[in-house]
Copies of this chain bind each other. A is one copy, B any other.
Amino acid sequence: MKNDNHPLTEEHKALSEALIGVLDTRFLKALCDPTRIEILKKIISIGVSDVSTIARGLSQDRSVISRHLAQLEQAGITVSRKDGRRVLYDLDGPYIVEKVTKILNTLHPMADLCRPFEGWDGAATLESQRS
Chain A window 22-35, contacts with chain B (Cβ cutoff 8 Å), 1 for yes, 0 for no: 01010011011110
With both beta carbons as reference points, the residue of chain B lying nearest to A34 in the complex is identified as B25
> This chain: how many copies in the complex?
2
With both beta carbons as reference points, the residue of chain B lying nearest to A90 in the complex is identified as B116
A91 touches B114 (CB 8 A): yes
* B-binding residues in A (CB < 8 A): 1-3, 6, 8, 12-13, 15-17, 19-20, 23, 25, 28-29, 31-34, 37, 40-49, 79, 81, 88, 90-94, 96-98, 100-101, 103-104, 107-108, 110-117, 120
Besides the known contacts A94-B111, A97-B107, A97-B111, 5 further A-B residue pairs in the complex with CB atoms under 8 A apart: A3-B46, A8-B46, A91-B114, A91-B116, A93-B112
